[in-house]
Structure 1
Amino acid sequence: MNTQLKIAGQSSELLGLGSILIGSLPATLMTGEAPDRYTVEAVFTRKTDRDEVAAIQGSATRAYLSAHGYSTVELRVADRRLEIANTNLEELRDGLAARIAERLADISIGITAAREVAAHRFEDASQREQVRAAAVAALAGSVSFARRPPADVSDDDARIEDWFEEGGSLRPWNVEDGWKTG
């Protein structure tokens, strides 16, 4: 089965960042009063979903950034923007931006893969349920509430007589003769 599933609310485009919001930068940049570190806001290439936001702001992303030398950097999602705190434009240019882009792509790929697996499991479970429901309906349809013709009593009597004649069994009590053995 080579079916492509469209999962509601999911974009096939990897999550990324487009540009920095210049207006959000400190007004004192490139002056003697410029801060060493500040928050830089960047615009996402598409709207994030709940799972992506949780992953971006989660401990795995913090660990990823720390492992690559950015232990003080913090990421927060604010609507269609990513707030990158405790950084600066030079640090972003020199490698942090690439690490963030890599992490966002990994998050998108991981979430998409998990959703596809879940969708396939749901589809398989749905198909199994349809087969089961059809089998139940067929079994229920095979039940008949029609009366059966009465059994031939002579056949039952003959089988009982054969059993008694095989030896050793006691016949039912007979008032006149007492117990009879066969």
Structure 2
Amino acid sequence: MNTQTKASTAARATSDGTLGLGSVLAGSLPRGLATPEAPSRYTVEAVFTRRPQRREILSIIGDETRALLGSYGYDMVRLAVSDRRLEIHNTSLEELRDGLSTRIADRLAAIGDETRAYEDAAALRSLDAAEDERIRAGKVADLAASITFSVSAQRTSVSVARATSDDAPAEAWANEGGHAPAA
């Protein structure tokens, strides 16, 4: 058997980018399967339909997933993520075929739903923050635009009074020495 051959082509990535599993990597299976010397439990690697996000990886390998698989009778099964591969430890092809693959697919779908809900909430928070910032910036701009630098009425009357009093000494000197007013 070609070690690069994929053993199955189950679920493919959906158009919305949901995380799923595409196929088992036949080349990663132990030699001697389907022989009397075959191990009863081993690691099966399956290819994700896309690269999982950090949040998804933490959910896949987390306690909730382990407990869920245990509740279905798969106490010994452990999941690990390696790049774009899901490593399913302590299982067999038969166990996967007989129901474990469906349980894993269901869990991945639930994780995808949780991730989308988290991302949607984060996007909404981001939009709300952007709107709050837009409103705040508008208020600041309006406040800044309301400021005028005009001379007050009090200052204007002081300036007029000063101008009048500044002219008085000049008039007092008009008839002083040597200058005759024009006739």
TM-score normalised to structure 2 length: 0.74
| Matched residue SS, 1:137 | helix
Deviation of 1:12 (Å)? 2.6
2:151 to 136, 147, 153: 147
| Matched residue SS, 1:92 | helix
User: In the alignment, what sits opposite 1:92?
Assistant: 96
Code of the residue aligned with 1:150 in structure 2: it is Q
Code of the residue aligned with 2:138 in structure 1: it is A
Deviation of 1:144 (Å)? 1.8
User: In the alignment, what sits opposite 2:62?
Assistant: 58
| Matched residue SS, 2:154 | coil
Larger Rg: 2
Deviation of 1:132 (Å)? 1.3
User: In the alignment, what sits opposite 1:21?
Assistant: 25
**Matched pairs, number:** 143
The worse-fitting range, judged by mean Cα deviation, of 135-144 and 88-97 is 135-144
* Higher RCO (CA < 8 A, seq sep 6+): 1
| Matched residue SS, 1:86 | strand
Code of the residue aligned with 2:136 in structure 1: it is R
RMSD (CA atoms): 1.8
* CA distance in 2 between partners of 1:124 and 1:110 (Å): 21
TM-score normalised to structure 1 length: 0.74
User: In the alignment, what sits opposite 1:137?
Assistant: 141
Mapping for residues 22-171 of structure 1, pairs under 5 Å: 22-150=26-154
Deviation of 1:134 (Å)? 0.4
| Matched residue SS, 1:150 | helix
Deviation of 1:89 (Å)? 0.8
Code of the residue aligned with 2:81 in structure 1: it is V
* CA distance in 1 between partners of 2:95 and 2:107 (Å): 16
Deviation of 1:104 (Å)? 0.5
Mapping for residues 3-22 of structure 1, pairs under 5 Å: 12-22=16-26
Code of the residue aligned with 1:136 in structure 2: it is V
The worse-fitting range, judged by mean Cα deviation, of 139-148 and 30-39 is 139-148
**Tell me, which stretches of 5 or more residues in structure 2 are unaligned?**
1-14, 158-183
**Tell me, which stretches of 5 or more residues in structure 1 are unaligned?**
1-10, 154-182
Q: Which runs of 4+ in 1 moved over 4 A?
A: none
Code of the residue aligned with 1:102 in structure 2: it is D
* CA distance in 2 between partners of 1:129 and 1:18 (Å): 43
